[in-house]
Amino acid sequence: MEKNATPLRSFLFTPANHPRRVEKVFEIGADAVILDLEDAVAVSEKGAARQCVVDAFSVRPSNGAKRYVRINSVDTPYCEDDIKATVGPWLDGVVLPKVESR
């Protein structure tokens, strides 16, 4: 574990289903980049968005930004597929989805 971890000051969230936005996300200079698979992505685009996460994080240089993916809620049919498709050595962490009270 890193003892002198640098605090993350800026987080940039962008929908993972917009490849042009994802291409530019590392050029902005945020400390952390979060590609969003949650409600920003239509159901019909979930598969392509997952692939976009893998393509962006496993190939492109991060320019020092930490790489995260925000997954869908565990009570949806998409969560498990999000994790299986996107978690790999290129990922710094998983951002949990928004929480709703009942």
83/25: higher pLDDT = 83
Rounded average pLDDT over 64-92: 95
Q: Does domain 11-95 have CATH number 3.20.20.60?
A: yes
b (16+ CB within 10 A) / e for 27-36: eeebebbbbb
pTM of the entire structure?
Answer: 0.88
Residue 36's H or E segment, with its range, is: strand 32-36
What is the secondary structure of 53-86 as a DSSP string?
HHHHHHHS--TT-EEEEEPPPTTSTTHHHHHHHH
pLDDT tens profile 22-69: 888 888 889 999 999 998 999 999 999 999 999 999 887 778 899 999
- Domain spans in the chain, listed from the N-terminal domain onward: 11-95
- Give residue 14's pLDDT band: very low, low, confident or very high (50, 70, 90): very high
Predicted local distance difference test score (pLDDT) of residue 26:
85
**Residue 1 pLDDT > 60, yes or no?**
no
3/98: higher pLDDT = 98
**Residue 2 pLDDT > 70, yes or no?**
no
Q: Express as a percent the part of the chain with pLDDT over 70.
A: 97
